[in-house]
């Protein structure tokens, strides 16, 4: 069991690394959008199997709680269906009944950061507001599990959390490990430099000291370009290096870069759309968890259509982030 977990962790971290490797590839975005249907189609069978398994698990749990198998049958009747045991809770099966547990890494303003008054406990940001709304609109409460960015997909795979919401870019390789919702935000990698820097395009980084954050798509964008770099655990650590003159450029996602530039004197953003493609953020669920994915997709689609997500983006991009 332990061995299996280790192997899984290794496969996942390889998947994440490979994902990042292709993030700057020119065909990534196109491949992503055309792939979606094919990937979903091939998953239908597995999804059906896993739903059936979930239903059995729920029924078993119910029957334990009621100390009798006959009570599980009564529950089913009450829910008006024998096949959909998840209907017992009126919602999808989750790690904890009535709670939708999201994993995140709260080091990524304006999407997730720690604040005095967060929307979910101490966690604030665009993603946190979206997570809370998705849970509450579906009769659940939202809970956050905070962890390293690199651990998120592994925790999801291990069933520790129900979903990942972390400004996570959809990549083909990550799609091999988990299922992604419809995208809710479009971003791109940018370069943060000192105001007087002569870096004007990605190629100018060639002889510079580059800082990135470990496991982010920005890391392997830079690695893919063949440049040496130093990887930090947090964006704020990379920015501190830049501010202190110990590195020349930080490569990171656009909205987060904007927050760092707003919060630190003497920095500016340099964009290079030819070198850095657009990336799409989405929520990840366990492979085959179509029930939860459908719920999340409906919520996101509604929030994109009625302007909720663009309003949240505007609100959090303008607000001061406390990290």
With respect to ligand ARG, which residue has the nearer C-beta, 199 or 282? 282
- Binding of residue 277 to ligand ARG (CB under 6 A): no
Contacts (CB under 6 A) with ligand ARG, residues 112-141: 112
CB of 242 to ligand ARG, least distance (A): 17
CB of 66 to ligand ARG, least distance (A): 40
With respect to ligand ARG, which residue has the nearer C-beta, 61 or 240? 240
Among 102, 185, 216, 227, binds ligand ARG (CB under 6 A): 216
CB of 112 to ligand ARG, least distance (A): 5
- Binding of residue 309 to ligand ARG (CB under 6 A): no
Among 62, 75, 107, 179, binds ligand ARG (CB under 6 A): 107
| Distance separating alpha carbons of residues 37 and 11, to the nearest angstrom | 24
- Binding of residue 185 to ligand ARG (CB under 6 A): no
Among 253, 255, 260, 321, binds ligand ARG (CB under 6 A): 253
Contacts (CB under 6 A) with ligand ARG, residues 141-160: 149
- Binding of residue 104 to ligand ARG (CB under 6 A): yes
- Binding of residue 109 to ligand ARG (CB under 6 A): no
With respect to ligand ARG, which residue has the nearer C-beta, 84 or 148? 148
- Answer for the pair 209, 247: CB distance below 8 angstroms, yes or no: yes
* Interface positions with ligand ARG (CB under 6 A): 104-105, 107-108, 112, 149, 166-169, 216-217, 253
């Amino acid at each position: 069991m332990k061995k299996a977990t280790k192997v899984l962790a290794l496969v996942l971290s390889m998947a994440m690394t490979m994902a990042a490797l292709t993030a700057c590839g020119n065909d990534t975005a196109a491949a992503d959008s055309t792939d979606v249907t094919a990937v979903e189609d091939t998953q239908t069978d597995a999804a059906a199997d896993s739903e059936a398994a979930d239903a059995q698990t729920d029924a078993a749990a119910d029957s334990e709680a009621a100390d009798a198998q006959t009570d599980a049958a009564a529950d089913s009747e009450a829910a008006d269906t024998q096949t959909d045991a998840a209907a017992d809770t009126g919602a999808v099966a989750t790690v904890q009944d009535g709670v939708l547990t999201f994993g995140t890494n709260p080091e990524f303003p304006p999407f997730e950061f720690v604040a005095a008054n967060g929307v979910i406990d101490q966690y604030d940001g665009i993603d946190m507001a979206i997570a809370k709304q998705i849970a509450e609109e579906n009769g659940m409460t939202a809970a956050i599990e905070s962890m390293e960015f690199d651990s998120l997909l592994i925790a999801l795979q291990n069933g520790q959390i129900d979903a990942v919401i972390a400004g996570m870019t959809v990549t083909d390789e990550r799609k091999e490990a988990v299922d992604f919702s419809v995208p809710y935000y479009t971003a791109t990698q940018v370069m943060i430099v000192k105001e007087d820097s002569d870096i004007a395009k990605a190629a100018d980084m060639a002889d510079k000291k580059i800082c990135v954050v470990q496991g982010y798509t920005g890391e392997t964008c830079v690695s893919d370009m063949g440049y040496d770099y130093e990887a930090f655990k947090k964006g704020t650590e990379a920015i501190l290096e830049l501010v202190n003159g110990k590195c020349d450029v930080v490569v990171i996602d656009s909205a987060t870069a904007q927050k760092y530039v707003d919060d630190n004197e003497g920095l500016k953003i340099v964009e290079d759309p030819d070198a850095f493609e657009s990336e799409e953020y989405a929520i990840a669920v366990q492979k085959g968890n179509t029930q939860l994915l459908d719920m999340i997709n409906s919520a996101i689609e509604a929030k994109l259509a009625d302007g909720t997500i663009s309003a949240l983006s505007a609100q959090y991009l303008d607000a001061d982030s406390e990290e």
